[in-house]
Structure 1
Amino acid sequence: MDKSFEVIIIGGSYAGLSAALALGRSLRKVLVIDAGKPCNTPTPHSHNFLTQDGVVPSEIAKIGRNQVEKYDTVQFHDGLAIEGTKTFEGFTITTEEGILFSSKKLIFATGLKDLMPGVDGFAECWGKSVIHCPYCHGYEVKHQKTGIIANGEKANHYASLISNWTKELTLFTNGPSELSKDQTTKILQNGISIVETPIEKLLHQNGKVQEVVLTDGKALPIQAIYSSPDFVQHSSIPEELGCQLNEQGLINVDGFQMTDVSGVYACGDNSTMRSVAMAVSSGHIAGVVVNKDLIAEVF
């Protein structure tokens, strides 16, 4: 296998494949390094992605990879990238097996790693009945008894947003409320209950939540929950190369998916709104911009 490329893409899910497709069609010599651990693995169906609405996420990725593999200038390496180094000519990437690859440009499509809170049953329901995005999953749980696990500004945002999909809403702050007086008043005026008692566990059946059990023993029937747990970048390489993170913890990019480091680009969940459609879009932009930048260097 070749070790030198024009572009290395780290991450071979939706964003990475989209970038690879644009670059393959631009006749670029590309390597996609993928560890096979997309962050939406627990999710049974993907939605709000035109032509693929309701399709299993892994099936979308499989179709994408099959299509990208038809371009003979694009190669794949199944493995984990663990180190990146800036060189005079570009970059080197080291994999977990100790293999070194080099390129002129880097695209990170590495996604995020969700940090599950210490609530029994949460992880088992995550991506199934504990969801983060109404645009991705809200239609499937519309008009159901729905909970929100959040506090402060995030809780206020969720409460107003989710009220579009259901009026049977309960906000669980999982401890003392951090909402302002005005926020609390507006939420209550919209018929949304606020529960401050900490959560002990989520009762569920194969990941389908049934009840929220509180530490005082009270159990509330709930069919779906919105929550946005903390996360970290799935790869530490961008930061090690000098890429900056924004206040949300995402890789800072401009409108062309360019990071603060020359020659390094980022796309997908690591730098934008979490959505398959957005990942594909940002990956396409990254691929097109990288090709444009490579042309500009020699023309």
Structure 2
Amino acid sequence: MRYDVIIAGGSYAGMSAALQLARARRKVLVIDAGQRRNRFAASAHGFLGQDGRAPGAIADDARHQLLAYPTVEWVSGTVSKASQETGGFIVETDGGQRYSTQRLLLASGVIDELPDVEGLAQRWGKSVFHCPYCHGYELEQGPIGVLATSPMSFHHALMLPDWGPTTFFTNGVFEPDAEQQDSLARRGVTLVPERVERIEGERADVVLADGRVIAIDGLFVLPRIQVAGSLAASLGCVLEDGPLGAFIQADPMTRETSVPGVFVCGDAAMPFGSVALAVGDGVRAGSGVHRSLIFDAH
């Protein structure tokens, strides 16, 4: 059987794209390994109609609704290889299954590269976060920390005081100039230049190299991102440098990559991400793929 579209990755963006194609009665295969980026978080916020729900519950409901469409199939696994053939692509999974498709949509997301600070990784998604819109409100205006990972963290630190009194731990990564220090002071941000030794406690208390412990309710970090898997690179998709790492370059409307017939959506195609943005981008990509099946001869 040859599919109209194979979607590599079945998280929020991939399922959103699949839904548009299913409603156009196209034959769709979703291949997904179940590694959602937000799997560490207990609840999702900022997504209209789903605010406060468990991310897994949102994904499970979406999959149930999607698979109610008779033209959609789902395979558990990861797309490990893809090669071009006449009129489309041959896709192979890590389990050795092979499928043929006219169009390929990449929705495999990104990997967060967290700073190497003791105690930080095990609190990721629980009391260590990246998105204030997703997690800031629930901190109830308690003390907040920002751990510098790059110059972008300066902008992060300027944002966070709207959610609570903010301490900016520059950690030897970033040194604000006089103008930036003034901006931080006007926002009421406390600047701490000492090196961070570790994160401990029930929430995310910051232990400094000089022995001081600064108690905070939530720590915000901007991790570097890396496109998950090697599929985009092996196909020759052009990557674009973003403030936190490279993402896959795509047409802003159709979401087609530099490789004809290969599309992308979700966090792998944007410099920043959230569930709501991923779902919206999936809508764009799904409709873009559908239009290409009608109007474009690849």
Residues 121 and 201, structure 1, Cα contact 8 Å, conserved in 2: yes
- Aligned equivalent of 2:206: 212
Q: Cα distance 1:184–1:262, how it changes in 2: closer, same or farther (>3 A)? A: same
Q: CA deviation at 1:151?
A: 5.0
Q: Cα distance 1:94–1:143, how it changes in 2: closer, same or farther (>3 A)? A: same
Q: TM-score, normalised by structure 2?
A: 0.94
Alignment of 1:72-151 (within 5 A): 72-151=70-149
Residues 150 and 171, structure 1, Cα contact 8 Å, conserved in 2: yes
Q: CA deviation at 1:80?
A: 1.3
Q: Distance in 2 between matches of 1:132 and 1:155?
A: 10
Q: Distance in 1 between matches of 2:239 and 2:15?
A: 23
Q: Cα distance 1:243–1:187, how it changes in 2: closer, same or farther (>3 A)? A: same
- Aligned equivalent of 1:34: 32
Q: Distance in 1 between matches of 2:167 and 2:113?
A: 23
- Aligned equivalent of 2:185: 188
Q: Over the residues paired in the alignment, what is the CA RMSD in angstroms?
A: 1.4
1:110-168 CA distance string (max 9 Å, x none): 111112221111111111111111111111124210000015531221122112222x1
Identity %: 39
- Aligned equivalent of 2:156: 158
Q: Cα distance 1:56–1:261, how it changes in 2: closer, same or farther (>3 A)? A: same
Q: CA deviation at 1:72?
A: 0.9
Q: How many residues align?
A: 292
Q: Distance in 1 between matches of 2:18 and 2:185?
A: 48
Q: Distance in 1 between matches of 2:251 and 2:267?
A: 15
Residues 176 and 196, structure 1, Cα contact 8 Å, conserved in 2: no
Q: CA deviation at 1:40?
A: 0.6
Q: Cα distance 1:280–1:13, how it changes in 2: closer, same or farther (>3 A)? A: same
- Aligned equivalent of 1:198: 195
Amino acid at match of 1:282: D
Q: Is 1:179 aligned to residue 173 of structure 2?
A: no
Q: Distance in 2 between matches of 1:157 and 1:176?
A: 14
Q: Distance in 2 between matches of 1:40 and 1:176?
A: 26
Q: Distance in 1 between matches of 2:71 and 2:208?
A: 56
Residues 152 and 178, structure 1, Cα contact 8 Å, conserved in 2: no
Q: Distance in 2 between matches of 1:83 and 1:152?
A: 34
Residues 152 and 179, structure 1, Cα contact 8 Å, conserved in 2: no
Q: Distance in 1 between matches of 2:237 and 2:129?
A: 29
- Aligned equivalent of 1:291: 290
Residues 158 and 189, structure 2, Cα contact 8 Å, conserved in 1: no
Q: Distance in 2 between matches of 1:101 and 1:192?
A: 54
